[in-house]
Amino acid sequence: MTDNNTDTPEESDETTEATAAEVVEETAAETETPIVEVTPLEKAEAEAAEMKSRWLLSVADMENYRKRIGREKQDIIRSAGASVVESLLPVLDNMKLGLQAAENHPEAKDVTLGFQMVDDQLKRALSEQGLEELIPDGDAFDPNFHECISHQSSNEVEEDKVIQTVRAGYRLNDRLIRAASVIVSSGPEKA
């Protein structure tokens, strides 16, 4: 036995289209607005506007991607440079200590002068890469840039000011590499 109420797929599509058309006509009649058919030109223009909008978003995304990759690349280069500079800081410290010791030996004046030139050249090369030496003698103590290794009373230097820099600090491209080790004034000696 066959069921007479069963529709074939083709009949069901036609029934659905007919029902949808009736609903649209009824809705249009109720709102009293005429049904406007979209011409192929208008349809193409709308599609072109959507594609242009998508294209502009893609271009903006690509530009933002390029900028972000450029910033990340610069950060990687800076961090690599920072590790090289950090490894050279003990060399700078030892050069400074050697030059201070050589000042006590006048017979080594020519050698001392040569090493002073090398020290100046090394500092100049590093400063061109963005290294800045921090010697805060007389400045206010700033825990962000200074490491207090001692307090000392002083009648000449105000309280919380740096009396002496024991070891220079360094900053590379506005990033602190090493804090300066300093002696801080505790003000005048109290009786």
Q: How confident is the model over 16-28, as pLDDT tens digits?
A: 555 555 655 555 5
pTM of the model: 0.58
pLDDT of res. 64: 96
Neighbours of 134 (CB within 10 A): 19
pLDDT of res. 80: 79
- In this structure, are residues 146 and 162 in contact, taking their beta carbons and an 8 Å threshold? yes
pLDDT tens per residue, range 113-170: 988 999 999 999 999 888 999 999 989 999 999 999 999 888 888 889 999 999 999 9
Average pLDDT in the chain: 83
pLDDT tens per residue, range 4-16: 445 454 444 555 5
Confidence of residue 106 (pLDDT cuts 50, 70, 90): confident
- In this structure, are residues 167 and 93 in contact, taking their beta carbons and an 8 Å threshold? yes
Region 44-73: what's the mean pLDDT? 95
Sequence-ordered list of residues with C-beta below 8 angstroms from that of 116, at least 6 positions apart, any chain: 99
